[in-house]
Amino acid sequence: MDGTLVDSSAIVPDAFVATVLALGGPRMTRDEVVAYYDAGAPHVMLGMMLDREPDPALGERYHATLAEVGSGVRVHDGVAEVLAELHGRGVPMGVFTGNSARAAAILLEAAGLRGWFEVVVGGDQVERPKPAPDGVLRVAQELGVDPAGCVYVGDSPLDVGAARDAGAVPLAAGWGHLFDAERAVTVLATPAEVLHHLSTGS
């Protein structure tokens, strides 16, 4: 979601920076925050940043901050049009994000995208974070589809790993802020290329 559907490359790290400061922690850079992304849900990340137990209350502080700044989130060019086209074709769509389900709801609502997705699963709703396949498998299950018939579009190497291990087709969002060409398989230059891939399988 982050970096694939919306450009949250500044908003999400800044919300963590502000939360850590408000809770008496050090001033962190955006890059330092991003380095914690593979830790899982926000309260787990904040526990590590603050050297505390991963209390869910930490996540609530982060969500409150994100809600304040999230209105500035920008949808990546072409995403809304692709979602509308996929919806028109009757393609079931879901989101799995390493961010929390609450953070996903905040950002998707702010971006005007929430209505396109039947299922949204956050990193706080699965036992293992990306690159484990848990989230991708859960979305497929809730959509009632076979993971092998799914494509999973994400901008980070963690997304590629999660899709592969779930048996889905990984597509790398080349426009995302965590995109790594060396670790990608099939690379999409624009969101519109999702439609081409679904039509041709290549």
d(CA 120, CA 68) in angstroms, rounded, equals: 21
76-200 homologous superfamily: HAD superfamily/HAD-like (3.40.50.1000)
Where do the structural domains in the chain lie, given as residue ranges?
A: 6-72, 76-200
d(CA 194, CA 107) in angstroms, rounded, equals: 22
State how beta strands 151-154 and 119-122 pair. unpaired
pLDDT in tens, the chain (202 residues): 888 999 998 999 999 999 999 999 999 999 999 999 888 789 999 999 999 999 999 999 999 999 999 888 999 999 999 999 999 999 999 999 988 999 999 999 999 999 999 999 998 999 998 999 999 999 999 999 999 999 999 998 899 999 999 999 999 999 988 777 666 578 899 999 999 988 876 5
d(CA 146, CA 151) in angstroms, rounded, equals: 11
The structure's pTM equals 0.89
d(CA 168, CA 149) in angstroms, rounded, equals: 7
CATH number of 6-72: 1.10.150
